[in-house]
């Protein structure tokens, strides 16, 4: 009986294999009555490379619901395992590496943005070549020169001082001439020509002082227009009053400009004394040298042709026909040609004296250059110390 049962079981297995259409290896069946223990195959299991495709199963199921035939077990097996049906279980089981013996896990997803291959602008700083040694030295020298060189503002202030110096000095000399003191000295000096129309020295001093005061004060033209002589006649003609008004405007503007230049020059000297030692001396020396050259040129021109020089100066500041008068007019009697020659000589002498003194005091001797250099180095060191803090 046991043999018959075994034969039946074997035959049933063969029939089931034939129905499924798949050739499988016969599995021996333990005799009845004996305890069987399920043993796991010693062959390693092959990890599925892909998930099973269930789309076919869904389509077949929809076909069966529509009236078609249900998929067989063999078709289902083929969908689950696309390996050829003729292969045996031993052939399907492939040896795996030791790493595949553990649980199958998917690799950790990587961020595409962090992938160096996907970086649109990779960092190439490390690939940049170092400049040549000569280029490095040149750049270092330029940095040192820019730091230790003369500041731009110092250069500008020195140039401005040199330009303003002759203008300020000339305005100061003219202001010294337009004063009652110069009138007194001029009228009382030996050799000054007397008035041939009757003005005494006292009359000249009185009327001349009115004229100088009008130039320097803020009075209206009536200050001169209403003056009368001893006979009760108007002292100055309207044309003379108009010319003195023009002189007043020119001098006031010139003195105001010179005063503004003086204020700026003082501020520039203060700045240079604090930031660039020796800058004040260089600016004044350049200005004095330029003034000396200018005054020599003007003096030579005036000596060679005084009348031409006098005419050109008046034509530069006044309109034609407004500054010419007759010999018996009050302005000519108070201020003859000799007066203007003496005034020009006085202005030139004052300018030359101050210029020479300035040149002597600012001449670039070796000792002065050394002191300026040492003071500049000390100032630079202080700047470096302040930056280090």
Distance CA 255, CA 261 (A): 10
pTM of the model: 0.59
Q: How far is CA 98 from CA 91, 211, 264, 310, in A?
A: 19, 122, 92, 118
Domain parsing of the chain, residue ranges: 150-388
Distance CA 375, CA 325 (A): 59
Ordered DSSP codes for 125-178: GGGPPPPPHHHHHHHHHHHHHHHHSPPHHHHHHHHHHHHHHHHHHHHHHHHHHS
Q: What is the pLDDT of residues 297-349, one digit of tens each?
A: 999 999 999 999 999 999 999 998 889 999 999 999 999 999 999 999 999 99
Q: What is the pLDDT of residues 78-137, one digit of tens each?
A: 444 444 444 444 444 444 444 444 444 445 555 555 555 555 555 555 445 566 777 776
Q: What is the pLDDT of residues 172-186, one digit of tens each?
A: 999 999 999 999 999
């Amino acid at each position: 009986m046991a043999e018959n049962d075994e034969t039946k079981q074997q035959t049933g297995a063969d029939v089931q294999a034939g129905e499924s259409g798949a050739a499988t290896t016969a599995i021996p069946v333990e005799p009845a009555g004996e305890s069987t223990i399920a043993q796991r195959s010693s062959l390693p299991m092959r990890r599925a490379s892909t998930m099973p495709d269930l789309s076919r199963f869904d389509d077949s199921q929809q076909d069966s619901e529509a009236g078609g035939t249900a998929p067989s077990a063999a078709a289902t097996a083929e969908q689950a395992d696309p390996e050829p049906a003729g292969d045996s279980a031993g052939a399907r089981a492939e040896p795996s590496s030791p790493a595949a013996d553990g649980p199958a896990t998917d690799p950790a997803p990587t961020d595409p943005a962090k992938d160096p291959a996907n970086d649109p602008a990779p960092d190439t700083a490390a690939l940049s070549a170092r400049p040549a040694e000569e280029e490095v030295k040149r750049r270092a020298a330029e940095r040192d020169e820019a730091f230790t060189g003369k500041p731009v503002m110092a250069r500008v202030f020195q140039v401005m001082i040199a330009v303003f110096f002759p203008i300020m000095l000339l305005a100061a000399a003219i202001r010294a001439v337009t004063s009652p003191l110069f009138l007194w000295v001029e009228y009382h000096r030996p050799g000054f020509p007397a008035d041939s129309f009757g003005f005494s020295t006292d009359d000249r001093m009185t009327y001349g002082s009115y004229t100088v005061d009008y130039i320097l004060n803020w009075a209206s033209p009536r200050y001169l227009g209403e003056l009368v002589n001893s006979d009760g006649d108007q002292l100055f003609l309207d044309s003379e009053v108009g010319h003195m008004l023009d002189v007043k405007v020119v001098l006031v503007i010139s003195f105001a400009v010179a005063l503004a230049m003086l204020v700026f020059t003082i501020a520039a000297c203060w700045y240079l004394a604090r930031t660039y030692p020796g800058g004040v001396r260089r600016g004044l020396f350049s200005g004095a040298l330029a003034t000396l050259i200018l005054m020599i040129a003007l003096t030579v021109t005036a000596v060679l042709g005084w009348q031409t020089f006098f005419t050109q100066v008046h034509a530069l500041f006044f309109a034609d026909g407004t500054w010419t008068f007759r010999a018996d007019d009050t302005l000519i009697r108070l201020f003859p040609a000799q007066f203007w020659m003496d005034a020009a000589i006085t202005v030139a002498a004052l300018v030359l004296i101050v210029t020479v003194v300035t040149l002597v005091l600012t001449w670039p001797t070796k000792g002065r250059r050394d002191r300026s250099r040492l003071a500049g180095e000390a100032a630079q060191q202080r700047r470096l110390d302040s930056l280090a803090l």
